[in-house]
Amino acid sequence: MGLKPKIVEKVLSNLLKRPFTEQYPFEKPVIPDGFRGVMKLDVDKCIGCGLCSRDCPSGAIEMKKYEHANRSVPVFHLYRCTFCYQCADSCPVKAISMTPVYELSTPDPFKLILEPKPEEVKPRPRGVRK
């Protein structure tokens, strides 16, 4: 009485199977295409329009001025990021792309600032549109 045989059958058969739970650090989950992980900025494509920064719902993108190159480039503060990818949607030149990287835990919040190095930011050639 009580439990239905069907469910008992299922429970017993599950005893013989391996656990359904993923054994995380040893066994990495399968990441589908289009997973929204850490974003990647193509500095050479960026035109510095600032639309990503304006549309970001959590204020995670700051436009940083690089004086030597005379242009602004977005800096991502990942500790504020909600990974909605509105920035990639808004980008008119598709300079922001997604990567399947999701392991972001760190004791140092400064590591979560994605900032291009000054030598990566080159001056944009004048009068040339990509």
**Chain length of the chain:** 130
Residue 64 in tokens? 């940083």
38 counts as binding other proteins under rule CB under 8 A: no
> Residue 52: enclosing H or E segment and its boundaries?
helix 51-55
The size of the interface with other proteins (CB under 8 A), counted in residues, is: 37
Shortest approach of other proteins to residue 128 CB, angstroms?
26
Q: What are phi and psi of 97, to 5 degrees?
A: -125, 165
CB 84 to other proteins: min, Å: 4
One character per residue 52-91, x = contact with other proteins (rule: CB under 8 A): -xxxxxxxxxxx-------------x-xx-xxxxx--xx-
User: In Å, how far from its chain's centre is CA 58?
Assistant: 14
Which is closer to other proteins, CB of 22 or CB of 44? 22
Which distant-in-sequence residues (6+ apart) come within 8 Å of 35 by Cβ? 98, 100, 102
Which residues of this chain interact with other proteins, rule CB under 8 A?
1-4, 6-7, 10-11, 20, 32, 34-36, 53-63, 77, 79-80, 82-86, 89-90, 98, 109-110
